[in-house]
Amino acid sequence: MRNAKERLKFMRPLEPTLVEKPPGGDGWIHEVKFDGYRSQIVKDDGDVRIFTRRGLDWTAKYRDLVETAKGLNAQSAIIDGEIIVLNEAGVSDFGELRKAITRRQHDLYFVAFDLLHLNGHDLRDMPLEDRREVLQAMISAGQRIQFSEALPGKGAAVFHLVEQAGLEGVVSKRKGSKYRSGPSTNWLKAKCYTIDEYELLGVEREAGKPAFALMAERGTGRYVGSAFITLNREMRERLWQRVQEHAGAAPKGTKRPATQWVTPGLIGRVKHLRGEEDLRHASQQDFREERIQSGEQEM
């Protein structure tokens, strides 16, 4: 047994670069981008720790996964992966993940996609495919720790299938690449878009600048970001009329002089990147009026 001071330490993970579409050509492997918490399993003899992507020790939050990791076919290892929970459709669900961590530990999975260290050997200089081959051999089927399989086909075809399946996106990894901590173009992530409804908080308009709708999560009122208003002229005028009819006061302590705030009741349909806690690359596609008191809705 090694001295506690010699225990394996957390390694900063490689951070993929966000791109619009997966790369073409044969020099890449493509995997599903899961909607969960990037995590790292560190196994040291009989001791297992699980870290967040920023290096926080969350071992106590993942008791069941820790027990599963103790059974991995390795004396010591550092494994890069994603902790997820699946919804009824079999798709990783970030919203359900938060609940599962506190209430349903048995529903958590760790999807392993890279191996940084094994039995005293640093593997980060090994080619990607070799690291993954060793990793796959360590993992038994049917367990809470699973191997992230590469998807067959080239980037465009894989992305289309992932989008149709309602998944978050694709991570493309350069064949033969080494593992290096921090931002890297050896891994590229392409995210799919989805459309959801949010409560409209207000509209920000300044002369000569694009107009943005400020959005909040329905039910909680939590501000989630702004969406570029892409409506045609007629719908933009109708939206502005509704905004004026529903004019409200600015939230306490808020200083956004170019924003017309509204009272609850306007709902915006927003296209945005999947798998983000807040809106990213978002655009407002439509809106409707919701009559809170009567429960009636006006399209």
What residue ranges define each of the domains in the chain, with the CATH number in brackets? Answer: 16-191 (3.30.470.30), 193-298 (2.40.50)
DSSP-assigned states of every residue in 113-154: EEEEEETTEE-TTS-HHHHHHHHHHHPPTTSSEEE-PPBSS-
| pLDDT reported for residue 154 | 92
- Which helix (H) or strand (E) covers residue 189, if one does? strand 182-191
10/23 Cα distance (integer angstroms)? 30
The pLDDT averaged over each successive group of 10 residues in the chain (299 residues) is 69 95 94 93 93 95 93 94 82 74 81 97 98 95 91 93 88 98 96 90 84 90 90 87 85 79 90 82 88 46
Q: What is the pLDDT of residues 69-99, one digit of tens each?
A: 999 989 999 999 999 988 776 677 777 787 7
Catalytic residues, by residue number, are 33
Q: Report residue 122 as tokens.
A: 């640093």
103/110 Cα distance (integer angstroms)? 17
| pLDDT reported for residue 5 | 53
Question: Could you give the maximum distance between any two Cα atoms of the chain, in Å?
Answer: 73
| pLDDT reported for residue 86 | 80
- pTM for the model stands at 0.75
